[in-house]
Amino acid sequence: RRAMADKGAQWHFISTLDDLAWLLNLRGADVSYNPVFVAHALIGTDRVSLFIADGKVSPALAEVLARDGIGVEPYANAAAALAVLPAGSTLLIDPRRITYGSLQAVPSSVTVVEAVNPSTFLKSCKTAADAAHVRATMEQDGAALAEFFAWFESALGRERITELTIDERLTAARARRPGFVSLSFSTIAGFNANGAMPHYRATEASHAVIEGDGLLLIDSGGQYLSGTTDITRVVPIGTPSEAQRRDFTIVLKGMIALSRAQFPRGIRSPMLDAIARAPIWEAGADYGHGTGHGVGYFLNVHEGPQVISHYAPAEPWTAMEEGMITSNEPGLYRSGKWGVRIENLVLNVAAEKTEFGDFLKFETLTLCPIDTRCIELALLRDDERAWLNAYHETVRARLSPHVTGDAKAWLELRTQPI
């Protein structure tokens, strides 16, 4: 409402589902992988109308919402509510996040102000409490990954494992963790040539068996009550080739470069993209997707306004602020051969204040070993090796209390310093 007042608006209409879920502190199950619900909201200076399908809100919840000044109304009433806005009043809308049909219901006597939804900015900057919950979530997610990889490495060559098996086993490992709700997106498990397709998905009709030599790319994530995760790891199958190890190491260098970056608070996030790409460009390679997307708090795994991608315009609302969680996922893909992508989630935290202003840096949130068997050690500088060793030391310390047996032995093995 303070943001509305700054825009001179008495009313604000929201249709984006992640904004609604965050603003009302509610979650739903209307969209696969994203804990959101289909609705609209009209916010006034002293009341809110939530337009949602009958049966979605229980009577008990409706009472709680009513005490907070939020009234529940039928979903179909949204246009009618816009149509009776008082003449001379001002309505704030986000033109990128509202349909033209909804806007047509607004009377010509109402002034329309266009701006990004204030909630888009507010929810992108996680609080200290949010960040603490996410860190704990990363420990649970990392423990699930340790259990999965321990099984995978022991079963490889003894059991028939396909890309579909990986999805099933990894999902089951996450489901055993406290607070798990669902996957945050459909798991991508791509072996060799399939890994060269960034958005590949194995199906019953078309999938690969994990056997022979090469690289296996696994991009996966979970929705937990205490946070949202998204991680990509590449592991060797059999003996990876020198070219595959080189590609892996080049991507790792890019990921490390961005992980270590320090930058001015408020810098437009697309401008950070070149930091991760520089080592890859230096090797005469590139990748055709962005380096990073914002991530919600038990919300959409892709969230704005920040995005680390030179494909995105560096607009004012993409500014990096403290508390934002973003993915760091450079890649390199050889069509028909193999693909490499290494992804961690990172949190914007305060770095230092100088005469030139406030600076931010990244805290790495994701906790899972990066497979050193894929690294061409000669290509890593001493400072890059030091970063990786320190990361693995943190992973080992944070995950050890949550794993036992084979998973703990795997964790110890895969976090040995190089």
Residues of the domain holding 70:
2-122
3-state secondary structure the chain: CHHHHHCCCCEEEECCHHHHHHHHCCCCCCECCECCCCEEEEECCCCEEEEECCCCCCHHHHHHHHHCCEEEEEHHHHHHHHHCCCCCCEEEECCCCCCHHHHHCCCCCCEEEECCCHHHHHHHCCCHHHHHHHHHHHHHHHHHHHHHHHHHHHHECCECCEHHHHHHHHHHHHHCCCCEEEECCCCEEEEHHHHHCCCCCCCCCCCCECCCCEEEEEEECEEECCEECCEEEEEEECCCCHHHHHHHHHHHHHHHHHHCCEEECCCEHHHHHHHHHHHHHHCCCCCCCCCEEECCCCCCCCEEEEEECCCCCCCHHHECCCCCEEEECCEEEECCCEEEECEEEEEEEEEEEECCEEEEEEEECCCCCCCHHHCCHHHCCHHHHHHHHHHHHHHHHHHHHHCCHHHHHHHHHHCCCC
108 plus 222 within the same structural domain: no
pLDDT of residue 204: 85
Q: Do 298 and 285 fall into the same domain? A: yes
Residues 37 and 149 in one domain: no
303 and 407 in a single domain? The answer is yes
Query: What sign does the dihedral 370-372-373-379 (CA atoms) show?
Result: positive
What's the domain count of the chain?
2
Residues 331 and 191 occupy one common structural domain: yes
Single out the residue in 104, 122, 140 at which a domain terminates.
122
pLDDT in tens, 186-216: 999 999 999 998 888 888 888 989 999 999 9
**pLDDT at position 202:** 80
pLDDT above 90 coverage of the chain, percent: 97
Residues 271 and 148 in one domain: yes
Shared domain check, 90 and 44: yes
CATH number at residue 190: 3.90.230.10
Q: What is the pLDDT of residues 353-371, one digit of tens each?
A: 999 999 999 999 999 999 9
Q: Are residues 110 and 132 in the same domain?
A: no
Residues 219 and 296 in one domain: yes
Domain match, 50 and 116 both: yes
List, for the chain, all residue ranges whose pLDDT scores fall below the cut of 50.
none
pLDDT at 110: 97
pTM above 0.85, yes or no: yes
User: Could you tell me the CATH number of the domain that includes residue 111?
Assistant: 3.40.350.10
Question: 118-173, pLDDT tens digit by residue?
Answer: 999 999 999 999 999 999 999 999 999 999 999 999 999 899 999 999 999 999 99
Pairing of strands 214-220, 231-237: antiparallel
Final residue of a domain: which of 64, 97, 122?
122
Q: Mark whether 174 and 311 lie in a shared domain.
A: yes
Q: What is the pLDDT of residue 406?
A: 97
- Tell me which of 82, 102, 122 is where a domain ends: 122
A 10 A CB-CB count for 57 gives 20
Q: Which residues contact 102 (CB under 8 A, 6 or more apart)?
A: 13, 15, 40, 78, 79, 82
160 plus 233 within the same structural domain: yes
Quote the pLDDT of residue 200.
85
Q: Check residue 199 and give its pLDDT.
A: 84
